[in-house]
Structure formats: C-alpha cells, structure tokens
C-alpha cells in the first residue's frame, strides 16, 4: 500500500464529507472537478507569515540604505498618508548579512540559514505590492482579495473550483489561524468550502478542533444517548416522508461521532520517523510549534486536502527589530525549509504549490514610536508598497528572483506583482482561470480577483 | 476646441504618439495613471485625466504648472520627484504643450464607448413600477381562505391544479407562531390554555388571534425582530474592521431598534430616523425623543467601517460607499455599491445617481481623527438629558471621583512605604534582604494594580450619555464623480438628488445649508417609492414563510428573482402603507392566515418541488439566537435583561491601552463576561467583528450567524458536522441539559409524569406511546444519576427541537 493511500484510508474515519453541508448536497459540492486547463499543481500549501516580515532585512537590502544608516532619506512617499514614528525617515540598514545563495545566487539573509539552503528550489518575488497598510484589512485582502467586507477566502475559492481529492477530508484546512474567522470563511460560497480550523494539541487538554471531547466522559453512555436521538430523528423523518435537511442532520451526527476518534488520529504525528521530525525542527523549542504545523500540512496535502494554510505569527516588529526578528526567523525558518525538502524527497513538490508570504512587508526606514530611543532600538513600519513573497513547487521557476525595487527598497520598479496577480497566478497553477471562477451573489458574478489580476507568466516553469 | 489651436490634428497626434507618450509612460504613469495611483488628482493616461487637473494649459507653457514642476530644480518639489528629466525630454513635453497639447487618446476610464443608461426604459422593470393596489382574486373553494392573503395563494394553486395542505395540529401551530414571533417556544401554560377548548370551529379564530396578540405584545417580540433588522446593519459592539476597538455606545442603537419593534414604530418613521434622525430631532422639544432620533443614525456608522486607514480622504469615500451600499440593500433592495466606479452593469442606475446621493453623505460627518496614531473613530455625540438623568449622572460622577481619591490616597501611602523599604534595603544585611525585598515587591504590585484601577475609573467616569451618530458638516455641498472610485481623480460635479429610476416627480428641494438626508429619507420612506414597501413586506414574509415572494430578498434588480405572487406582493405593500406602515399589523394578518396554518408535510409528490405556490409550510431550522434562547427558556434560566451595554467594560481586565495618546485606541479583550450574560437573550450579548463570538454567544458562530461585515436579510441554514459536534459535546448544551433534568426531577415525581413534562417543555407536544417506551428503556439502561441529564441532552440535540415545523 502506498503511503498516500494509507493516509487516505486512515483519514476515512474522519467522516465522509466531514465538513460538507449535507443538507444542500443535491450535487456534492466537494466532488472532485476537472481543472479548466492542465494544472501544474494539484494542491496548495500557504505559509502565512502574519504581521509582515521585514524584507529589507531578509531578502531586499539596499546599498543606499546601508550607506545612509541612521540618516534621513527622502523616499517618494504618498503624502496623503498619516505617519506615526516614521516621520524622520531614518535609513535602517539590514541587521545581518544578506548573501547570494545556491546556483542562482538568490539573496537571502543569514537569519534564514535553512531557507538559504533551498534557494534553488524557490522563486522569489521581490516586487510584490498590495493596497492596505494595516494588519486586518491587509490580511483580509491577502486571503479574500478585498480589504473589507466578508468575501470567500482563497482556500474556499480553490475548494469550490476543484473539489477535494479526498472525500473524507475537507477541501480547505487552516492550521493555527489568526482570530479573524473571515480569513478562512466561505462567505457566500457554500459552507462546505469554509476553512476548517485545526489546532495541533500541545497537551492533553487541547482539542484539535472544537467540541471534539466527549462532554459526558463515557463513550458508551454517549452512544446510547445518540442512538436515542437518532431514533427520534428517524421517526420524525418518516412522519414527514422526505426532507433533505433532516437527512443531512442525521448523517452529520454520525460523522461528528466518528470524528471524535478519527481527528486525533489524523493530527497524530507519532507515526512519522525521527529523521522526518528532525528535518522540520520538531523538538527544538524555538520552532517546535511551527515544525509540527508544517509536518501536519504535508500529511494533509499528501492525503488530498486541496488547500492547507499554516499561519505563523510574530512578524510585526515596530520596535527593537534587532532583537525580535532573529527570533521570528528561528521560529519559522527550519519548519518552512524542512517542508520543501520533505515534499521534494517524496516527489510531492512537483505538483504541490507552496507559497510563503506576509500580508505586507516593512519599511526600509526606521520606526520609533517613543520618539526618543536610539536607532539600535528602532523597528520598521508596515509597507504594502513593496514586499517579498516566495513560491516553490508546482509549476513555478525554481531559483528565479523576479522583480526589483527602487534604491530605497520602497517602490517596485520592474516585474511588479500585485496581490491580485499573485491570486490569478495561484489559481492558474492549479488549473483555474481567475476570470471564470465566479459565483453569482446579489445579481453579480464575484471573483477572487474582483476585476483585477493578471497571471505572471514569466515565473511559470 | 483646444486641440485645433496650434497644430493640425493628425500631425499633432503623430508627434504625441512618437515623442510624448513614451516619456509619460516611462516617467509619470507610475504615480499619475489608472495603472498606478492618481497622485494629486492628475492622471496622464487620458486627455480627460490631465484636462481635469488643470495643470497643463494647452498652448501656454508659462501657465502650465506641469512645466514649472519639471524645471523647478528643488528635489522636494520637482516632478518626477527623484531625478530631474533630461533636458531633451523636458523640451519635448514643452513643445507638445506649445502645440496645444494634442492628445488623441480616449479616456482610460471609459475605454470603450460607454453604454448609456436609459432611465425611462429602466422604469418598465416590475420593481420600479408604482405599487398597484390589488383586489383579492376569486377562488373556487371559498371555504378555505381565512384572509385575503389566502385568496391570492389559493387562486394560484387552483390555476395550477394544486390543493393546499391540511392544517397543522394546534401544538405545531403554536410552537411555530411562538418561535416566529418571539424566538422562544410556548410555555406549558400557554400550550394548556390554547389546546384546551375542543375542536376548531369557524368561531374559534379568536383563540388564535388571542395567542398572536399576546406574542406581539410581549417584549420578546422586539427582541427577536430587532435582530432581523440588525442583520441588515452590520451591527457589532466593535468599531472598524481592525483590532478590537470597542464600540461602547453601540448598544443604544440596538436598544433603539428593539424599542422600535416593540412599540410598533411606523416603519416609515423608523426609516426616516435612521437616515436623518439628527436633523429631524431639531423639531423636537422632548429630550428623550431627541436622544432617540440621534441614536437612530447609528444605522449609518455602526457597520463595517474602516477607521484605521492612513489615507483619510480615501477612508471617507469608502465609508460613504459603505453607507450607500447599506441604504441600497436594507431599504431599496438595490446594489448601489456597484455604481461607485461605473454605471451599473445590469440595473438602470448611473454613476450620476450614486454621486447624487453620495453628496449627501459627503456633506455628513461620520468620523473624526482621534489622538491615537493613525486612527479615527466614529462620531460620539452627546445625547440630550432630562434634568433627572443629569442629576443622577452627577451623583455617580461624584461617587466615582471619591473612589478615585480613595485609591490615589491608598496608592500614595503604599508608595511611601515602598520608599521606606528601598531605604532599608540599601543598608540591610544579607539575611534580612529577602524578606524586605518581598515586602517591597508586594507593595509595588499593589501600586501597579491601583494605578490600573485609577486609570480605568478615570477613563470610564460617568459622562453624559453618548451615541454613535452623525451630523451635517458646516458647508454641505454637491460632490464630484470619482474616476473608478479614486477620490483623487475627480470628474464632473453632480447635483444632490436620488436614484432617478425610482422617482415619480421632481425631487424635493434640499435647503442650502443641509446635507439632504431629510429629503433622502422622505424619498425612501414614501408611499410612492416603488421599492421600499415591497422590499420591507417581502422580508417580513420571508421570515414567516421561509421564502420571500421575491426569493432574492436583498436584491430587487433585474438579475434578481421575479416575484412568485406579484399581485399579493403589491396587495401587501399597499395595505402596509395604508395601515400606517405598521409591522405588527402586517405580521398579525400573515400569521392568522390559513396559508400560515398549513402543515409542513408534502402531500402530492412531484408537483412544485420548490413549494413556490405554498401548498405546505416551509420548515425552518432555528437560527442561532432561537436555539440558545429556547434552551434557556425551556430550563427556566432565561433572565429578563436590564438592557444597557453589551460589553463588560467595567472589568479592568477586559480593557487595554486606555492611555488617550497611545498608538492604538483602547481595545477590548474578553477575559470576563458578566455572570448574568450566560442567561440573557442572545441579542444582548456582545457582537464581535474580528474574532469568534464571546462566551455562550459562541453558538452564533456554529449556527450561521450573519457576519457583521455582511448586510444580509437572510441567513443560510447549513447542516455541517461542526453543529453536530456542538450538540454532542459543548458545555453549553450540557449545562442546559443538566438544568433541565434538575427542573423536571424536582418539579415532578414519577417517570411517566416527568416524561410528559419533558416532552411538553422541549418539543411542546404530548409524548407518544412509542417514545414513552423508548425513553423508559434508555432511562433504565443509564446510570441513575445521569439518566435524566442524558435524556434531556438527547431531546435538546434532536431535530424536532432544532426545526420549526
């Protein structure tokens, strides 16, 4: 039995159509659907660096900024915007060496030694840009395409567009998401496509998903109670003859019952080898949580989940970035790089698309909210005007550095990629045409890319 | 005209294409085109774009600011900002200006020739036609209808060769009407009264009417129907989409809506107050009425408003869009948001219509910049107080001041002692030190705690009641169209007015010093407006019958669903308006109909599978509020709420960042809810926008609560296993089951009477023989101490409890 089919079989107890809105399943919304055109990737893993990683430190340092360190610079900023703690525009040099790596010579900081080792596997977009410089609207735009409202999230669109490869699992799972439920909501798309939030249990008391633990504490009693309820439900159904919703509710009760045992099995990483665990950095205190999340992401991907998201926070360095950034790097570097290596060694990387990004980047000039601290203690402000995203696997050119910013590292000057373009490209890679993947709501056909977006064909392998 | 001034058109165009356009593209487009930004309102990618800004004066280099900026020689002011253009390029651009600035390009925003919206043709669509009073049709079976509504329904069924279903039994009808009107199941006493009294006869209708009147007059009615309205407002106890900024005054609007439904405020008045209450209040002398009307305008600002944007002009335009979108959906069933950037693609609404109304909101102040970083806040407006309210407030203020002084004294005392310990420590010997340090540290903790309490007490000092509300700006004015929604790229000015396709007469004149919201309100809440009453009665119909007469309840545009019973819709709309826009009267008529009394069982398979002709009652899953509230009512724990603030801001641990000049505004974190909040109706619990719902309100997230960022008159009714897991294992349902078991076993003795009581409370009907046997078996099988809890739990998670039949 292949590893993948084993995983699919063990996941089966998770429940057929586990998160499917069974009442409205005249046709199964999660049924696997053919891509619109040949897909380069069958599934996506999105590593979301919540808070905004500092690209001037990690990927896009500038000589001019290094030379001007601590001195005022005059960047072409939008004067309509308010500024807090950044009005002096003091250049802040990259805190560690950023060097050419691998065959391609991609520039990566010493702060990311593991990512540096996979430089030839990744495609670095250095002139990404988006539209909002505050966390929640920006994160919302990253996930849903718009900065406000509640539209379907990227994972929901992909689940809607492709269905799931594994009928026993949701099409979209999000590990350790931020608190805003809109970030993985399905909005007006059918509820079957909403992201299922999974927590990796840190201890006995934690539950990977809500309400999984038998509240009565006695499995036999629970089953007896459930049997009674289901007998009531079936008698009611017989009395009204036919009701799809009631049938759905009866079935979902059984699925929920099975999920109580199947879910912990699914998130159990103990069957992985020590070598694999070490590859991700499991057991190292600085990155254990993210390492487990990335390994689980691989398992879920392998089992056929279309879109897996792993959120890693802690990147919002408004102050003392010199001290804080290395910690955020250490917490995520090995897990992310380990994931790429693991996918590659299993032959999964070629049809799995991995995307690494924050909701925006950070300014090349410093921020000092106190107004009095020395430059060594400064941080950096949010910057949607330009930031860095990397992609790997499924159909992107490995080792490519794409895009450049101006002398400040503020505005893109060439090969710029708007967030809408990134969305269009991700959909393209999984075989979906972003202009045709629509859902009619209140009379209008909505898209992930709204009325924007162009596929970035130059980064396609 | 200008083009012809210096160069022949062809030659000029050729020069432009060859020499000028490449420079503009390379050097300027990034900040001055529709591809990038449109800084300073100057777009150089169309002739229209630069003509508008006025910085290029064709034929005159001297008067063209554009040319000055190229040559200014000051890096801070020059254009492009960083590098001066090469002299050759400047020369080319100036030659072009001198030629009369020929520019053959068509507008980038227009692209292709725009299709013109034909308003008069648009008026022919059914929803823009005047509401037409309809007479109930003749029916063959005159014995079935109880009301005029029934005649409309039956006539369509007869025409299709269908028959209505039989009546539901009285238990089912009572549960249905009780849940629909109040969100709560009937009590055993109500059931007893209603069911006793023999078979239905033609003169038994008073018994139904008495139940309906009781329900309509209970305060639970407003608590249910207000929530339906709040789904159309984006209401939350949090402002903005970002962080956890608390909306400490939002509850006043919530209570306003509850009162409006309970007092059966005429719906046209309800509309007027929400759009222009602040202006209407000027004609009122009663402070309580004034406060009510000002509070009503919370409708305009309590939605998904962005308040952290760094570009304040853009933020203001986004808010206007939000307000118009909400007015369009909630009152008119129109998607106005589409028209911000272009004429509507399907409906007869032009940008001119949008900006005519947008001008009213540009002339209205909704937010102000706070002292926190880049943040704004929704306006907080002092409400008029009665002398009694003022006296009470001043009393509370004095108490608060006194308590602050006490704490300050206590803190200063502690600081003094701490200083003493510090002094002792300086000279203390090694073995004395640990004990001294501990005492000092304890004092330090105490000082910090007291400081926190003092800050909290100062921040929340009793001030005059405030509401989130709006007011007119000092100089109201018309607004200019934006090019693709960009507030820096402006087109023609549009005179304030209304959506022309739904107008019947010349617009009401807007006084020079007013925003025009009063006139907007009068146009919407008008008996001649073709949309307002139809949209409103259709929503009420949908809540009671499961589907709207127009199924797309929020959208009456050309791509929406056509009405299944157009005559009935107009009959209801005109009756509604004739009877003073009374919501209660409309609901009363609908629930006393024979149509509403039908059972829900399908009797003829195959025909009308979607039940468009209403040959049976549509079953509905209870919404989140009804599930939680019903469980509380059944177990006897539901507490009548004293109204007031939803957020427990009185607990210092719940609020952070109270310093008025901090980078971020004060924020809320849910450490602690008031104990009573577990037992209040769900509408009174905090609504959170950016995270999961707090405490027992979490049930909302599981059962299809409308995201407060959405404006939606209808909730989905999904059946996902997450709900089943909640029913299996949540502590909320377990707690209610335990309470219910205690109630039943303590109030009743003997298994048989206990089962009777349990079924009557949870399912609102007598237990059947088969169920009695089954339940007895389960009870015998389970450990005695758990048996009644498990049985209660089983019923509370059953489909019959969760579905209103």
**Does residue B167 sit in helix, strand or coil?**
strand
Does pLDDT of A461 surpass 50? yes
Q: pLDDT, tens digit, for every residue of B601-657? A: 877 666 788 899 999 999 999 999 999 999 999 999 999 877 889 999 999 889 988
**Which residue in B744, B787, B798, B736 sits closest to A224, CA to CA?**
B787
Q: Do B775 and A248 touch (CB under 8 A)?
A: no
pLDDT band for A12, please (50, 70, 90 cuts).
very low
CA closest to A217 among chain B residues: B729
Chain A CB contacts of B725 below 8 Å: 209-212, 256, 259-260
More confident residue, A342 or B346: A342
Mutate to test the interface with B, among A30, A213, A215, A411 (most CBs of B within 10 A): A215
In b/e form, how buried is each residue of B159-178, taking b as 16+ CB within 10 angstroms? eeebebbeebebbbbbbbbb
Chain B CB contacts of A246 below 8 Å: 799, 803
Minimal C-alpha gap between A76 and chain B (Å): 7
Q: Return the residue matching tokens 């007059």.
A: B217
Predicted local confidence at residue A244, as pLDDT: 85
pLDDT band for B216, please (50, 70, 90 cuts).
very high
B-proximal residues of A, 356-395, CB under 8 Å: 369
CA distance B780 to B310: 67
Does pLDDT of B163 surpass 60? yes
**Does residue B127 sit in helix, strand or coil?**
helix
Minimal C-alpha gap between B30 and chain A (Å): 9
Mutate to test the interface with A, among B31, B720, B765 (most CBs of A within 10 A): B720
Residue A97 near chain B (CB below 8 Å): no
Q: pLDDT, tens digit, for every residue of B362-416? A: 999 999 999 888 899 999 999 999 899 999 999 999 999 999 999 999 999 999 9
CA closest to B784 among chain A residues: A221
Mutate to test the interface with A, among B718, B734, B780 (most CBs of A within 10 A): B718
Of A115-119, A325-329, B99-103, B782-786, the poorest mean pLDDT is in B99-103
ipTM, two decimals, is 0.84
Q: Do A214 and B729 touch (CB under 8 A)?
A: yes
**Where does A130-178 show beta strands of DSSP type E?**
172-175
Q: Do A82 and B314 touch (CB under 8 A)?
A: no
Minimal C-alpha gap between B385 and chain A (Å): 36
**Which residue in B781, B780, B774, B805 sits closest to B795, CA to CA?**
B774
CA closest to B601 among chain A residues: A240
Q: Where are the alpha helices (DSSP H) in B613-730?
A: 624-634, 699-702, 721-729
Q: Distance of CA B482 to CAs B29, B109, B156, B284, Å?
A: 19, 10, 48, 37
Q: What is the mean pLDDT of residues A69-93?
A: 90
Q: pLDDT, tens digit, for every residue of B541-599? A: 999 999 999 999 999 999 899 999 999 999 999 999 999 999 999 999 999 999 999 99
Q: Do A78 and B311 touch (CB under 8 A)?
A: yes
Chain B CB contacts of A210 below 8 Å: 722, 725-726
Q: Is B55 left (phi over 0), alpha (psi -120 to 50) or beta?
A: alpha
Average of per-residue pLDDT values in chain A:
90
Residue A136 near chain B (CB below 8 Å): yes
Q: Do A136 and B690 touch (CB under 8 A)?
A: yes
Tokens for A209? 């998903």
Q: Do A225 and B778 touch (CB under 8 A)?
A: yes
Q: Which residues, in sequence order, are CB contacts of B589 under 8 Å at separation 6+?
A: B147, B149, B575
Does pLDDT of B249 surpass 70? yes
CA distance B19 to B93: 8
Tell me the three-class secondary structure of B393-451, residue by residue. HHHHHHHHHHHHHHHHHHHHHHHHHHHHHHHHHHHCCCCCHHHHHHHHHHHHHHHHHHH
Predicted local confidence at residue A14, as pLDDT: 45
Q: Do A80 and B795 touch (CB under 8 A)?
A: no
Q: Do A232 and B794 touch (CB under 8 A)?
A: yes
Say which of A22, A135, A240 has its CB closest to residue B600. Answer: A240
pLDDT > 70: percent of chain B: 95
Q: Which helix (H) or strand (E) holds B466?
A: strand B466-468
Tokens for B575? 């009756």
Q: Are B343 and B117 in contact (CB under 8 A)?
A: yes
Q: pLDDT, tens digit, for every residue of B416-437? A: 999 998 888 888 888 888 888 8
B-proximal residues of A, 233-262, CB under 8 Å: 233, 235-237, 239-243, 245-246, 248-250, 252-253, 255-257, 259-260
Q: What is the mean pLDDT of residues A64-84?
A: 90
CA distance B57 to B694: 60
Instruction: Give the predicted TM-score (pTM) of the model.
Output: 0.84
Minimal C-alpha gap between B409 and chain A (Å): 30
Q: Do A236 and B770 touch (CB under 8 A)?
A: no
Chain A CB contacts of B727 below 8 Å: 253, 256
**Which residue in A226, A232, A279, A283 sits closest to A256, CA to CA?**
A226
Residue A264 near chain B (CB below 8 Å): no
Chain A CB contacts of B558 below 8 Å: 443
CA distance B202 to B547: 29
Chain A CB contacts of B795 below 8 Å: 229, 232
Q: Do A134 and B721 touch (CB under 8 A)?
A: no
Q: Are A386 and A410 in contact (CB under 8 A)?
A: yes
Does pLDDT of A26 surpass 70? no
Say which of A80, A84, A133 has its CB closest to residue B663. Answer: A84
Dihedral over Cα of B629, B632, B638, B641: its sign: negative
Predicted local confidence at residue B151, as pLDDT: 98
Minimal C-alpha gap between B234 and chain A (Å): 10
Question: Helices (H) and strands (E) in chain B — how many of each?
Answer: 31, 12
Say which of A81, A252, A406 has its CB closest to residue B723. Answer: A252
Residue A28 near chain B (CB below 8 Å): no
pLDDT band for A62, please (50, 70, 90 cuts).
very high
Q: Distance of CA B703 to CAs A21, B233, B409, B690, Å?
A: 12, 19, 51, 18
CA closest to A86 among chain B residues: B373
Mutate to test the interface with B, among A253, A382, A406 (most CBs of B within 10 A): A253
Say which of A209, A229, A406 has its CB closest to residue B794. Answer: A229
Minimal C-alpha gap between B35 and chain A (Å): 11
**Does residue A60 sit in helix, strand or coil?**
coil
Q: Distance of CA B349 to CAs B344, B498, B502, B563, Å?
A: 5, 10, 10, 21
More confident residue, B83 or B137: B137
Q: What is the mean pLDDT of residues A94-121?
A: 97
Q: Do B800 and A236 touch (CB under 8 A)?
A: yes
**Does residue A71 sit in helix, strand or coil?**
coil
Does pLDDT of B108 surpass 80? no
Tokens for B160? 């299709």
Average of per-residue pLDDT values in chain B:
91
Taken as a whole, chain A contains a residue count of 461
Q: Do A443 and B621 touch (CB under 8 A)?
A: no
Q: Are B224 and B182 in contact (CB under 8 A)?
A: yes
pLDDT > 90: percent of chain A: 68
Predicted local confidence at residue B110, as pLDDT: 46
Q: Which domains does chain A have, with CATH numbers?
A: 32-200+267-459 (3.40.720.10)
Chain A CB contacts of B82 below 8 Å: 76, 406
Q: Where are the alpha helices (DSSP H) in A306-413?
A: 321-345
**Which residue in A353, A332, A440, A411 sits closest to A77, CA to CA?**
A411
Predicted local confidence at residue A209, as pLDDT: 87
Chain A CB contacts of B793 below 8 Å: 216, 225
Cβ atoms within 10 Å of B464's Cβ, excluding its own: 12
Between vectors from CA B580 to CA B579 and to CA B585, what angle results, nearest 5°? Answer: 55
Burial-class residue B135 by CB neighbours within 10 Å (0-12, 13-18, 19+). exposed
Say which of A136, A215, A241 has its CB closest to residue B602. Answer: A241
Q: Do B709 and A148 touch (CB under 8 A)?
A: yes
Tell me the three-class secondary structure of B27-62, residue by residue. HHCCCECCCCCEHHHCCCCCHHHHHHHCCCCCCCCC
Q: Are A316 and A52 in contact (CB under 8 A)?
A: yes
């Amino acid at each position: 039995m292949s590893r993948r089919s084993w995983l699919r079989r063990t996941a089966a107890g998770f429940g057929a159509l586990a998160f499917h809105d069974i009442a409205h399943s005249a046709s199964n919304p999660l049924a696997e659907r053919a891509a619109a055109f040949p897909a380069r990737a069958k599934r996506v893993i999105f590593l979301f660096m919540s808070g905004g990683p500092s690209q001037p430190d990690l990927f896009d340092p500038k000589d001019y900024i290094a030379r001007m360190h601590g001195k005022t610079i005059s960047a072409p900023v939008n004067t309509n915007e308010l500024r807090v703690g950044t009005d002096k525009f003091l250049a802040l040099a990259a805190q560690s060496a950023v060097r050419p790596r691998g065959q391609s010579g991609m520039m990566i900081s010493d702060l990311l030694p593991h990512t540096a080792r996979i430089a030839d596997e990744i495609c670095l977009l250095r002139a990404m840009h988006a539209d909002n410089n505050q966390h929640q609207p920006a994160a919302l735009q990253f996930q849903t395409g718009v900065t406000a409202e509640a539209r379907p999230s990227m994972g929901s669109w992909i689940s809607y567009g492709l269905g799931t490869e594994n009928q026993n699992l949701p099409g979209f799972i999000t590990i350790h998401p931020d608190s805003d439920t809109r970030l993985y909501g399905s909005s007006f798309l059918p509820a079957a496509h909403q992201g299922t939030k999974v927590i990796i249990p840190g201890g006995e008391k934690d539950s990977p998903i809500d309400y999984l633990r038998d509240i009565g504490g006695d499995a036999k009693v629970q089953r007896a109670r459930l049997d009674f309820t289901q007998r009531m439900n079936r008698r009611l159904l017989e009395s009204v003859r036919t009701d799809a919703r009631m049938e759905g509710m009866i079935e979902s009760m059984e699925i929920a019952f099975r999920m109580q045992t199947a879910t912990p099995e699914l998130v159990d990483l103990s069957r992985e080898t020590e070598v694999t665990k070490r590859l991700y950095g499991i057991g190292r205190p600085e990155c254990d949580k993210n390492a487990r999340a990335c390994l689980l992401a691989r398992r879920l991907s392998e089992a056929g989940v279309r879109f897996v998201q792993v959120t890693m926070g802690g990147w919002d360095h408004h102050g003392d970035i010199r001290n804080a950034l290395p910690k955020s790097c250490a917490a995520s570097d090995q897990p992310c790089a380990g994931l790429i290596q693991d996918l590659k060694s299993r032959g999964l990387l070629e049809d799995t698309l991995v995307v690494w990004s924050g909701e925006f980047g950070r300014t090349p000039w410093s921020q000092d909210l106190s107004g009095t601290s020395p430059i060594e203690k400064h941080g950096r402000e949010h910057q949607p005007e330009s930031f860095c995203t990397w992609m790997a696997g499924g159909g992107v050119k490995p080792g490519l550095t794409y895009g450049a910013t101006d002398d400040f590292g503020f505005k893109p000057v060439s090969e710029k990629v708007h967030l809408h373009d990134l969305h269009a490209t991700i959909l393209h890679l999984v075989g979906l045409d972003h202009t045709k993947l629509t859902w009619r709501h209140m009379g209008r056909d909505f898209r992930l890319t709204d009325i924007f977006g162009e596929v970035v064909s130059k980064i396609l392998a | 005209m200008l083009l012809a001034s210096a160069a022949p058109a062809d030659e000029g165009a050729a020069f432009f294409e060859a020499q000028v356009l490449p420079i503009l593209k390379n050097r300027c487009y990034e900040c001055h085109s529709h591809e990038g930004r449109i800084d300073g309102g100057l777009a150089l990618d169309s002739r229209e774009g630069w003509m508008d800004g006025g910085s290029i004066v064709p034929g005159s280099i001297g008067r063209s600011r554009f040319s000055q900026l190229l040559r200014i020689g000051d890096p801070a002011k020059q254009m492009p900002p960083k590098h001066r253009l090469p002299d050759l390029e400047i020369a080319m651009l100036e030659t072009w200006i001198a030629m009369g600035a020929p520019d053959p390009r068509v507008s980038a925003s227009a692209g292709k020739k725009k299709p013109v919206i034909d308003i008069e043709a648009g008026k022919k669509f059914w929803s823009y036609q005047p509401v037409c009073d309809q007479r109930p049709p003749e029916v063959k079976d005159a014995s079935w209808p109880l009301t005029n509504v029934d005649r409309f329904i039956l006539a369509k069924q007869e025409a299709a060769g269908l028959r209505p279903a039989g009546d539901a039994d009285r238990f089912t009808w009572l549960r249905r009407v009780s849940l629909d009107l109040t969100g709560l199941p009937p009590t055993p006493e109500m059931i007893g009264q209603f069911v006793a009294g023999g078979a239905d006869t033609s003169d038994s209708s008073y018994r139904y009417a008495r139940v309906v009147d009781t329900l309509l007059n209970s305060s639970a009615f407003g608590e249910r129907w207000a929530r339906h309205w709040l789904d159309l407002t984006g209401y939350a106890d949090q402002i903005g989409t970002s962080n956890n900024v608390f909306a400490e005054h939002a509850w006043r609007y919530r209570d306003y809506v509850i009162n409006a439904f309970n007092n059966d405020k005429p719906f046209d008045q309800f509309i007027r107050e929400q759009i222009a209450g602040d202006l209407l209040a000027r004609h009122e002398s009663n402070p309580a009425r004034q406060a009510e009307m000002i509070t009503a305008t919370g409708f305009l600002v309590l939605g998904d408003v962005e308040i952290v944007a760094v570009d304040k002009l853009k933020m203001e335009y986004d808010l206007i869009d939000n307000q118009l979108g909400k007015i369009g959906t909630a009152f008119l069933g129109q998607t106005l948001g589409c028209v911000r950037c272009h004429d509507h693609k399907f409906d007869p609404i032009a940008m001119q219509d949008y900006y005519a109304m947008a001008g009213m909101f540009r002339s209205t102040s909704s937010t102000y910049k706070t002292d926190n970083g880049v943040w704004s806040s929704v306006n907080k407006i002092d409400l008029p107080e009665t002398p009694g309210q003022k006296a009470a407030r001043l009393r509370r203020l004095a108490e608060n001041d006194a308590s602050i002084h006490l704490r300050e004294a206590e803190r200063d005392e502690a600081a003094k002692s701490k200083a003493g310990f510090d002094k002792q420590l300086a000279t203390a010997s090694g073995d004395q030190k640990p004990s001294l340090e501990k005492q000092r540290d304890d004092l330090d903790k105490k000082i910090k705690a007291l400081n926190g309490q003092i800050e909290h007490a100062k921040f929340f000092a009793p001030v005059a009641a405030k509401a989130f509300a709006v007011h007119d700006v000092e100089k109201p004015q018309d607004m200019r169209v934006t090019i693709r929604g960009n507030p820096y790229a402006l087109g023609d000015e549009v005179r304030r007015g209304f959506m022309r396709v739904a107008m019947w007469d010349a617009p009401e004149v807007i006084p020079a010093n007013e925003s025009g919201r009063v006139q907007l309100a009068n146009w919407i809440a008008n008996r001649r407006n073709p949309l307002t009453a139809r949209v409103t009665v259709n929503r009420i119909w949908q809540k009671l019958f499961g589907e709207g007469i127009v199924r797309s309840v929020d959208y009456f545009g050309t791509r929406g669903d056509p009405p299944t019973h157009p005559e009935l819709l107009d009959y209801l709309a005109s009756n509604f308006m004739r009877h003073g826009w009374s919501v209660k009267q409309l609901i009363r008529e609908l629930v006393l109909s024979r149509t509403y009394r039908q059972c829900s069982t399908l009797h003829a398979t195959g025909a009308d599978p979607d039940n468009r002709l209403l040959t049976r009652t549509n079953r509905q899953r209870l919404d989140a509020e009804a599930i939680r509230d019903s469980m509380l009512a059944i177990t006897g724990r539901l507490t009548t709420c004293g109204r007031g603030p939803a957020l427990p801001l009185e607990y210092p641990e719940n609020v952070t960042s109270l310093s008025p000049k901090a980078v971020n505004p004060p924020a809320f974190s849910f450490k602690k809810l008031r104990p009573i909040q577990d037992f209040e109706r769900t509408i009174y619990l905090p609504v959170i926008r950016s995270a999961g719902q707090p405490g027992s309100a979490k049930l909302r997230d599981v059962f299809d609560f409308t995201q407060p960022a959405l404006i939606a008159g209808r909730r989905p009714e999904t059946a996902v296993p997450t709900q089943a897991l909640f029913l299996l294992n949540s502590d909320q349902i377990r707690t209610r089951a335990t309470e219910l078991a205690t109630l039943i076993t303590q109030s009743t003795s003997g298994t048989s009477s206990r089962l009777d009581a349990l079924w009557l409370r949870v399912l609102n009907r007598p237990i059947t023989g088969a169920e009695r046997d089954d339940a007895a078996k389960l009870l015998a099988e389970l450990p005695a101490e758990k048996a009644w809890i498990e049985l209660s739990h089983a019923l509370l998670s059953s489909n019959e409890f969760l579905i209103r039949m």
